[in-house]
Structure 1
């Protein structure tokens, strides 16, 4: 499936409603810019849900202010922190848009974002469940760092985007900028929303969605993704973080879904990479679990066996210490 150019016009007939679930947890320094970027959208058919996941930094007051100024917006102030997956689902199951954006309110939507992605959906196959794009990466103060998909050799991008049936691709490597995704409601509903037992949503969503739905890369910059020390991705693999356990669970799910030799090899590549990250951070129990997944995908290489043996020795040492 070819990439779709960003200049495609939006059809006026049968315009779709797009749900934006704006998720906030202690995003007060960035919140006004994020909400103003919703207001700046050129696409008019929006259903907006403001969801605060028990912020403690004044974010709820800002959300109340915007909700009072825009009475068509929906406001959910959760009394307890439930995590991104459950917070998103709470709004998703009450919403009605044909397409859905999971919008973290430390990021920024560029004005044509929604219009461009709706046009891409309307111009492609009904089996496409996700349209994703390029993103600008910015610091806490908004300084531009570069782009997620960067020009490489010739006209190639790094990481290389993929379109079509991407199940093996999402197992093998990270290439999607999560904040740029627009999802088809039917795809999300078929998956029963996000898995609320997990600490984060994107890897699990990619794996489950790509099994039965196609993905489409739209060659446009539609989003500004903010990178800062408090973001979820910055805490991955640290001691006692819940993200590695969720990654292992997603790999276990994927193991039950692989069908071909290429897909098994893709999962082996993922398990091997995650196992090395776990070992580097002395997460020996998790490294052993990842090796168990690796054993079921292919015959482990000598390096994998060595890593697994080292993990078992280190784990035993830590238990006896």
Structure 2
């Protein structure tokens, strides 16, 4: 069954530059050959479109959509998902690299576990200067739905689980149109955890580019004109979750969601007031120690 199963890979991109060649090459070299790569170029101003056209001409598995208007990050991720008509799907970033067995092993994992809707490997985060660290955002989430969401919101990490292999229809149900807010990927993951369990393979089969600590806050400043939502970055996310989660799940998770808001507010405070960074780093160390203790008991 695995070899006959077609998988759609959705690659939303804007100004991917030459990095996109390495990403596409690693995807087209997967041991699971029955794939369809859907690239959505979001109004790139560099050589990205021509590079993608080249791949589409050479390999019939590659389809390129050249967007006439900028869909935004969230909109572009949703666009490639909605193009999928295959049983399984994964998102791919232009600056990541996959081991050849990534799709095959995650697909086999899902086929062995019908209660699961997502599977990913462990993930290495790689800085521009080559330093590597393990992502803390791929751990398995199993058991009752409320337990899955509570565990997720306690420490989502870099949300590297977002780049696993998914059951397509369950993922489409998890990505409504009206969630274009800071943290939309957390919303998608939360709604997907209502659909079923998330699994993790022990191998490291994906390397992701690691951004500096202030990358997301610079993005927030560019995209968010309202000052309140800059200082409380995940408030819009919490409002969406309150509307979208079943009432009993919201009540079980709201304390942890509010905790995430507090942490992100402190991180933004550090970005805006660098003089207080040492104090906030100390609080962060204490919080991580508390998290490790809670996970151990």
Distance in 1 separating the partners of 2:252 and 2:91: 31
Query: Does 2:191 match 1:208?
Result: yes
Q: Which of 102, 109, 132 matches 1:120?
A: 109
Q: Distance in 2 between matches of 1:196 and 1:272?
A: 20
* CA distance 1:228–1:250, change in 2 (3 Å): closer
Q: CA deviation at 1:76?
A: 0.5
**Rounded Cα–Cα distance in structure 2 between residues aligned with 1:186 and 1:135:** 25
Query: Within 5 A, what are the aligned runs for 1:37-186?
Result: 37-126=26-115, 128-140=116-128, 143-149=130-136, 161-164=139-142, 165=145, 166-175=148-157, 176-178=159-161, 180-186=163-169
Distance in 2 of aligned mates of 1:103 and 1:194:
20
Which structure 2 residues correspond to residues 247-286 of structure 1 after superposition, within 5 A? 247-256=234-243, 257=245, 259=248, 262-281=252-271
Aligned pair count reads 258
Query: In the superposition, relative to structure 1, how do residues 268 and 89 fare at CA in structure 2: closer, same or farther (>3 Å)?
Result: closer
**Conservation of the 8 A alpha-carbon contact between 1:85 and 1:199:** no
Larger displacement relative to structure 2 (273-282 or 63-72):
273-282
The answer to whether residue 226 in structure 2 is matched with residue 236 in structure 1 is no
- Provide closer, same or farther for how the CA distance between residues 180 and 197 of structure 1 changes in structure 2, counting only shifts above 3 A: closer
Distance change (3 Å), C-alpha of 1:179 and 1:73: same
The corresponding residue for 1:220 is: 203
Kindly indicate whether the alpha-carbon contact (under 8 Å) linking 1:85 and 1:195 is maintained by their aligned counterparts in 2.
no
Residue 203 of structure 1: how far off its partner (Å): 1.0
Partner residue in 2 for 1:27: 16
**Contact 2:11–2:80 under 8 Å retained in 1:** no
Cα–Cα, structure 1 residues 70 and 274, in superposed 2: closer, same or farther, change >3 Å?
Answer: same
Distance in 2 separating the partners of 1:161 and 1:137: 15
Partners of 1:19 and 1:111 lie apart in 2 by 16
Stretches of structure 2 lacking an aligned partner (at least 5 in a row): 274-297
Contact persistence 1:100–1:183 (CA under 8 A): yes
Superposed CA deviations along residues 173-229 of structure 1, whole A, max 9, x for unmatched, are 223314532221121222355655335532111122223322222222121101246
Q: Is the 8 A contact 1:133 1:180 kept in 2?
A: no
Q: Report the TM-score when normalising by structure 2.
A: 0.76
RMSD: 2.7
Q: Indicate if the aligned counterparts of 2:117 and 2:198 stay in contact, CA closer than 8 A.
A: yes
In structure 1, list runs of 5 or more residues that go unmatched.
Answer: 1-10, 150-158, 284-321
* Paired residues of 1:162 and 1:169 also in contact (CA < 8 A): no
Indicate how the Cα distance of structure 1 residues 198 and 269 shifts in structure 2: closer, same or farther if over 3 A, else same.
closer
- The answer on whether the counterparts of 1:135 and 1:222 sit within 8 Å (CA) in structure 2 is yes
Match of 2:125, SS? strand
Shift of 1:117: 0.6
Specify the structure having the higher radius of gyration (Cα): 1
